[in-house]
Structure 1
């Protein structure tokens, strides 16, 4: 159980917004930060005061679910860029409903994993809270573009370009 990667379910994302379940502070904190980028053991070590019982509660309530594999990443080397090309706001022919849900889920998982890596733990946590507010794919794409700007300001254009290449399938 502790070596498995977990991510929030739709019910978990809804619980973050509604706060309707009587979760302990530690369980709620774990729910806020947990994504599929690390195994549960690492998340339990990172979030102070969290134990296996908190993870078990999140699983029991259906707020997190085990993931079969890691988060999608690209192996391409970044190309230096003076200016980052702006992502398209919406594809000319939006995909069908199931495809939109899949794209949303994939981009959500990618951004959740990248935020702490690119912005650090605290700014990544704040970004994750913003991510939870995105209701649809266009809002998620807009926040992804904002992440690119933040990374470019913090780490430079090469880091932003590398991040953009990792999410190009969801933005173009």
Structure 2
């Protein structure tokens, strides 16, 4: 997440001029620093990593910033090519029995980014970054079956840690993203 490079959206540029959204001082400072070139970890914000990630996610969800790219993950593997068919039934049960229940094989890059954001936030807040590698690998996935496998792994870890109810809350957000 901190290797992501963000850029301001048109709404973000307007917010800097108008202050219409009522951003906190830290959110506004962060929005101003985002330049479309600097990865999030290199932004000169004096705050804990967890807070920085949270503020970036808030700005992204509010439509004030968007992902412009990212630094390649360390030891990045080349992703397998996605299936070429655009529609088929994908109710493949992932580990933990999780399915998105979609009638497509692929989802959009924007949807994957939002799912990654949700998983990243919960990974940092509840799992101390245990699933960072998996979440980094998700960037190039567009197959629903692959996404379901990642979410299934996330669910297993959350369940093992006794946080199944918190995981269900985040899964509701993920299902909303893909609808």
Which TM-score bucket, shorter chain as reference? 0.3 to 0.5
TM-score (normalizing by structure 2): 0.43
Bigger relative CO (Cα 8 Å, ≥ 6 apart): 1
